[in-house]
């Protein structure tokens, strides 16, 4: 396969591989995961339709447990790291659970459910 003059068969993929262990979640991502967990638990994968249903079930300016407005998770849907197949995504529960264990006092579960 040739793309813009580069022979992609000779490029090592080891530099392009990102594992779930190397990601860092920011507060808005954690906020989304906490709200999603309150409604849906911790499924291994989620489809785009399930994300749409979750987002549509919330009010327009619904805030999550950390106080941020819950927005569409573009960080999840636009990332090759989380995409397992077309419109199916793996959620970073491992990193979320690490953060949750270290910061359990800052989560207010009642705010996640409308």
3-class DSSP state of 108: coil
> Would you call 7 exposed, middle or buried from its count of C-beta atoms within 10 A (0-12, 13-18, 19+)?
exposed
Residue 44: give the domain boundaries: 22-112
Residue 23 has a pLDDT of: 77
Provide mean pLDDT across the span 19-35: 83
Res 6 pLDDT > 80: no
2 within domain boundaries: no
53 within domain boundaries: yes
Provide mean pLDDT across the span 66-92: 94
Q: How many domains does the chain have?
A: 1
13 within domain boundaries: no
5 within domain boundaries: no
Of all residues in the chain, what percent are helix, strand and coil, respectively (each to 5)? Answer: 45, 15, 40
16 within domain boundaries: no
Residue 106 has a pLDDT of: 65
- Chain mean pLDDT for the chain: 80
Give residues with Cβ within 8 angstroms of 88, minimum separation 6: 45, 46, 47, 48
4 within domain boundaries: no
104 within domain boundaries: yes
pLDDT band of 42, cuts 50, 70, 90: very high
9 within domain boundaries: no
């Amino acid at each position: 396969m040739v793309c813009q003059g580069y022979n992609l068969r000779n490029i090592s993929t080891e530099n392009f591989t990102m594992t779930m262990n190397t990601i860092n979640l920011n507060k808005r991502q954690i906020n989304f995961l906490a709200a999603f967990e309150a409604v849906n638990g911790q499924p291994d994968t989620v489809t785009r339709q399930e994300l749409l249903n979750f987002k549509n079930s919330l009010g327009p300016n619904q805030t999550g447990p950390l106080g941020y407005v819950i927005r569409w998770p573009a960080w999840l849907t636009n990332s090759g790291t989380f995409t397992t197949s077309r419109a199916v995504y793996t959620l970073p529960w491992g990193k979320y659970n690490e953060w949750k264990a270290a910061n359990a006092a800052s989560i207010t579960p009642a705010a996640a459910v409308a």
